[in-house]
Amino acid sequence: MTAVTVNPRLDARRVAVQRDVARRRTRRLMIVLSLLSTVLLGWLVVNSPLMDVDDVQIRGLDRVSLDAAEEAMGVSVGDSMARLDTDAIAEKLELMAWVDEVVVTRRWPGTLDITVREREAVAVTLVDADQWVLVDSDGRVLSEALGLVPSLPRLTGLRAAAEPGTFLAGDAAAPLAIITALPDSVAEQVAAIWRDGDGELSMSLISGDIVVLGGDLDLRAKVAAAATMVELMAEQGRVDWIVDVSVPSLTTVSDR
């Protein structure tokens, strides 16, 4: 029988290859184990009672009750902090009629901070005969008004409002724009803004004086002219007047 002689250099090369393959397998195994450890650690952190919601702090509530806000957002003490969808929480709260904007922030390890900016009522309008609702500058219906609110102007001659959380029809855009564009010193004197049967706008003051505004076009110039004339009439001590600014460059004044 003839013995086979192996070249030492080839044998060394084979051993080196085997060792390299073993090292690669070990490296891959270590990577897999590391990933599994990371996943397990993450799972443990997410599900650990130490990372549960311990406290919910809500700031900025006035018109919205704390109980109503907590019910709307659907978060409870003991929920997982990591699993909370902060955007979804904000969206749920913003569906509430009085809520304008919400910012939700996690404060680790267990506090949920919520800052609410509520809407501001700028007028009242009818939802039904003798039933008034509060509305904001965007035309959003906020809530039922318990009778007339003396500090807020009435919007009449418009399509009826609907339930809280909805928006007024398009015919309310111009009256709301007038209210928000008027200087505070004049806006606080406004008792009502209405549309007549032809869709023309007029505004009455608490004093009973009237400003005729006409159609919806060129509102910026009309508001500026109206504010100027209201202040001028006050300076002159005039009462019982009607100012017509439907053509801002041809403003007229007459007795009521």
State how far the Cα of 229 lies from the Cα of 227, in Å rounded to an integer.
6
How many CB atoms lie under 10 A from the CB of residue 89? 19
Closest CA to 153 of 143, 163, 162, 145: 145
Flag the least confident range among 18-27, 38-47, 129-138, 224-233: 38-47
Q: Which amino acid is at 39?
A: V
- For Cα atoms 48, 52, 53, give the angle at the middle one, nearest 5 degrees: 175
**Residues 162/127, Cβ–Cβ less than 8 Å:** yes
Class of domain 49-118: alpha beta
Beta strand 121-128 pairing with 131-136: antiparallel
**Residues 231/223, Cβ–Cβ less than 8 Å:** no
Q: What is the model's pLDDT at position 31?
A: 77
In the chain, ranges of CATH 3.10.20.310 domains: 49-118
Q: What is the model's pLDDT at position 49?
A: 54
Flag the least confident range among 2-16, 54-68, 140-154, 239-253: 2-16
**Residues 112/104, Cβ–Cβ less than 8 Å:** yes
pTM: 0.77
Question: Which residues touch 47 (CB under 8 Å, ≥6 apart)?
Answer: 80
Question: Which residues touch 107 (CB under 8 Å, ≥6 apart)?
Answer: 113
How many residues comprise the chain?
A: 256
Asked whether residue 236 carries a pLDDT value surpassing 90, the answer given is yes
CATH 3.20.20.80 fits domain 121-255: no
- CA 71, 63, 193, 249: dihedral to nearest 10 degrees? -100
In the chain, ranges of CATH 3.40.50.10960 domains: 121-255
Flag the least confident range among 25-29, 44-48, 189-193: 44-48
Beta strand 154-156 pairing with 121-128: parallel
pLDDT tens profile 8-35: 666 666 666 677 667 777 777 777 766 7
Question: Which residues touch 178 (CB under 8 Å, ≥6 apart)?
Answer: 193, 201, 203, 213, 219, 222, 223
